[in-house]
Amino acid sequence: MRLERWVPALVWGRAYDRATLGGDLMAAVIVTIMLIPQSLAYAMLAGLPPHVGLYASMLPLLAYAVFGSSRVLAVGPVAVVSLMTATAVSRIAEPGSPEYLAAALALALLSGLILIGLGLARLGFLANLLSHPVIAGFISASAILIAAGQLRHILGVPGGGDTVLEVLPALARQWEAVNLPTLVIGGATIGFLVWVRLMLSRLLMRIGLTAKLADALAKAAPVVAVAASILAVAGLDLAGAGVAIVGAIPQGLPPLTVPPLDAPMWRALLPAALLISVIGFVESVSVAQTLAARRRERIEPDQELVGLGAANVAAAMSGGFPVTGGFARSVVNVDAGARTPMAGVLTAGGIALTAVFLTPLFFHLPNAVLAATIIVAVLGLVDITAMRRTWRYSKSDFAAMAVTMGVVLGIGVEAGVLAGVALSLLLFLWRTSRPHMAVVGQVPGTEHFRNILRHAVVESPIVLTVRVDESLYFANARYLEDRIAALAAERPAIRHVVLMCPAVNLIDASALESLETIADRLKAAGITFHLSEVKGPVMDRLKRSDFFDHLTGQVFLSQFEAFRTLDPEAAARAMATGPGAPVSAAGGAPPSQGGGGR
């Protein structure tokens, strides 16, 4: 039982049969065809030789199949993590050098260990620090950054720069050096891939294929561009005309690798590894959840951390680089018939066959085709809809998204994530730091209490009742002190203050002290302080403190009880009046039952 908890393969492996194999095999064939150009391209994006992409698509898939909790997630190199790898590794090593490859291995190992550690310590909640708007902003901006960075391969110029503000002017300065055959190949590939994406699946459906299969085939179409471009470059000797090609790729299975034990390098990579782990996990687990929900399966987030961690450790030990679950690839996997992680095992087998037998075929593959594949893939990640939706729903969430995007594009990916996280935390604190508080009175003829500004209610001249609509914690504890002090100072005649707590789910130590301070200060002014409608768990905790030494009044189970006890005369007046009559002692606002008032 215990072992099965951590090794999901023991569960699905036991029930495996021939019928399942058929679906898994079909899916593996299509995913392999889709993965070959992607793995080469994402290795290039990460600044690594193309075969590293193939290596990262074998053992990691096996490891995830054993330890991952999703049945159908397709793991491997993905665009955003490859960009983050390039950013992190190029800071400490020269692209193309053996140190660069070694650092990429170390990054994968670190990231794997972090993921496994978070999973075993059940710290997956840390991923929640990344709010949806921050992630959406980060992915969109990264996509733009990636596309801008790949333009140099389409133009056939050296390029340069880390941010969009540096990359685009650098390209513009080199317009005279543009290699025309490269541009033609790159442009044609982009055109073809966009056509495939927009039209092909509809075309295939018209000739009788099912929608799912048509989509899956359309996703595999880049392999056609790869084959055609290889034939064109080889046949017309375009490499001689200046078209950059992939060149010789080492043939065979990945070697066993161990990242070097270099403490300063590990320390330098640690922050990047943490970010890559968290971002990779967040993206992957959301794909896994979506696919699992369709079939009422469960994803264990902690087990998912272990599965992705194992995949990254496997990448580090087999000459690869950081991997995670890919969205498009996983959807193709499911649609093509995958039922178990065996599809991943078979995909790894397909990539292994490619690495052993087919790599010589890629000699004439132009880099421009790989760049075109990347550009078309990532531009689909720029989520304009999410930006518009967030703007409409919440300006502060949009601010977090916009800052994330701005910093990613203008400064860098890691600074962008950190700025986004910091801002969303601050904005959340700001929002909850001034909780909604309402002075309430009794609705005539009922035992209900409502906002005196929104309803015709009975108030007491000697009892001030304040309802607070938020948990009380350090960010709003002092505001509570200020507000109650102000409300009490405005009403010189009052003798009791009641804090009504039906929406208070938590009172932390800061808020506890503030409540004690409020009680002490009111006492000094000759006012008694009471609570009403405190939730059970909150009350249990208050009983563990010395709060009741400070509380001058009582805790009432219901606000009606409080009102009846503290000002029987006003309560009786309220019960004697029919509902809706204009009875507000304070002569407050006109009756209003609409507008979401309580």
Bridge-based pairing state of the strands 324-326 and 449-451: unpaired
Taking the C-alpha atoms of residue 582 and residue 578, their distance in angstroms, rounded to an integer, is 9
The count of residues in the chain is: 598
Query: Contact between 11 and a second copy (CB under 8 A)?
Result: no
Q: Which stretch binds a second copy (CB under 8 A): 9-17, 145-153, 259-267, 429-437?
A: 429-437
Report helix angle 413-433 to 132-155, nearest 10.
Answer: 160
Residue number, 266 or 474, with CB nearest to a second copy? 474
Among 517, 554, 565, 577, binds a second copy (CB under 8 A): 517
Query: Contact between 493 and a second copy (CB under 8 A)?
Result: no
Q: What is the DSSP string of 394-445?
A: -HHHHHHHHHHHHHHHHT-HHHHHHHHHHHHHHHHHHHHHS--EEEEEEPTT
DSSP 3-state of 468 = strand
Among 394, 558, 565, 577, binds a second copy (CB under 8 A): 394
Q: Long-range contacts for 207-212 (Cβ within 8 Å, ≥24 apart)?
A: 212/335, 212/336
Among 67, 192, 362, 473, binds a second copy (CB under 8 A): 473
Rounded to the nearest whole angstrom, what is the least distance from the CB of residue 81 to a second copy in the complex? 19
Among 148, 378, 403, 475, binds a second copy (CB under 8 A): 475
Taking the C-alpha atoms of residue 468 and residue 466, their distance in angstroms, rounded to an integer, is 6
Residue number, 76 or 133, with CB nearest to a second copy? 133
Residue number, 377 or 480, with CB nearest to a second copy? 480
Among 197, 431, 495, 550, binds a second copy (CB under 8 A): 431
Among 1, 256, 384, 489, binds a second copy (CB under 8 A): 489
Rounded to the nearest whole angstrom, what is the least distance from the CB of residue 269 to a second copy in the complex? 22
> 428 CB contacts (<8 Å, ≥6 apart)?
none
Question: Which positions from 247 to 286 touch a second copy by CB under 8 A, shown as an x/- string?
Answer: --------------------------------------xx
Among 15, 263, 384, 524, binds a second copy (CB under 8 A): 524
Among 195, 357, 430, 548, binds a second copy (CB under 8 A): 430
Residue number, 206 or 544, with CB nearest to a second copy? 544
Query: Contact between 334 and a second copy (CB under 8 A)?
Result: no
Among 4, 94, 482, 569, binds a second copy (CB under 8 A): 482
Query: Contact between 384 and a second copy (CB under 8 A)?
Result: no
Q: Where are the alpha helices (DSSP H) in 59-195?
A: 59-67, 79-90, 98-120, 132-155, 164-173, 180-195
Among 505, 557, 580, 592, binds a second copy (CB under 8 A): 505
Contact predicate 241/85, CB 8 Å: no
Contact predicate 499/472, CB 8 Å: no
- Residues 543-562 binding a second copy (CB under 8 A) are 544-546
Query: Contact between 3 and a second copy (CB under 8 A)?
Result: no
- Secondary structure percentages of the chain, helix, strand, coil, to 5: 65, 5, 30
Tokens describing residue 233: 């470059």
Rounded to the nearest whole angstrom, what is the least distance from the CB of residue 107 to a second copy in the complex? 25
Residue 598: CB atoms within 10 A of its CB come to: 15
Report which DSSP code applies to 588.
-
Tokens describing residue 581: 């009559």
Rounded to the nearest whole angstrom, what is the least distance from the CB of residue 434 to a second copy in the complex? 7
Query: Contact between 453 and a second copy (CB under 8 A)?
Result: no
Among 476, 528, 559, 584, binds a second copy (CB under 8 A): 476
Question: Which positions from 53 to 92 touch a second copy by CB under 8 A, shown as an x/- string?
Answer: ----------------------------------------
3-state secondary structure 142-168: HHHHHHHHHHHHHHCCCCCCCCHHHHH
Query: Contact between 212 and a second copy (CB under 8 A)?
Result: no
Taking the C-alpha atoms of residue 40 and residue 56, their distance in angstroms, rounded to an integer, is 10
Rounded to the nearest whole angstrom, what is the least distance from the CB of residue 295 to a second copy in the complex? 8
Rounded to the nearest whole angstrom, what is the least distance from the CB of residue 459 to a second copy in the complex? 20
Residue number, 329 or 467, with CB nearest to a second copy? 467
State the Cα angle at 518 between 514 and 521, rounded to 5°.
Answer: 130
Rounded to the nearest whole angstrom, what is the least distance from the CB of residue 489 to a second copy in the complex? 5
Closest CA to 165 of 481, 411, 502, 378: 411
Closest CA to 387 of 400, 377, 373, 369: 400
Query: Contact between 125 and a second copy (CB under 8 A)?
Result: yes
Query: Contact between 483 and a second copy (CB under 8 A)?
Result: no
Bridge-based pairing state of the strands 463-468 and 496-500: parallel
Closest CA to 559 of 427, 435, 458, 455: 458
Residue number, 481 or 561, with CB nearest to a second copy? 481
Residue number, 19 or 493, with CB nearest to a second copy? 493
Taking the C-alpha atoms of residue 404 and residue 96, their distance in angstroms, rounded to an integer, is 30
Query: Contact between 12 and a second copy (CB under 8 A)?
Result: no
- Residues 284-313 binding a second copy (CB under 8 A) are 285-286, 289-290, 292-299, 301
Query: Contact between 447 and a second copy (CB under 8 A)?
Result: no
Strand partners, 449: 442
Residue number, 49 or 420, with CB nearest to a second copy? 420
Taking the C-alpha atoms of residue 160 and residue 165, their distance in angstroms, rounded to an integer, is 11
Report helix angle 395-410 to 164-173, nearest 10.
Answer: 40
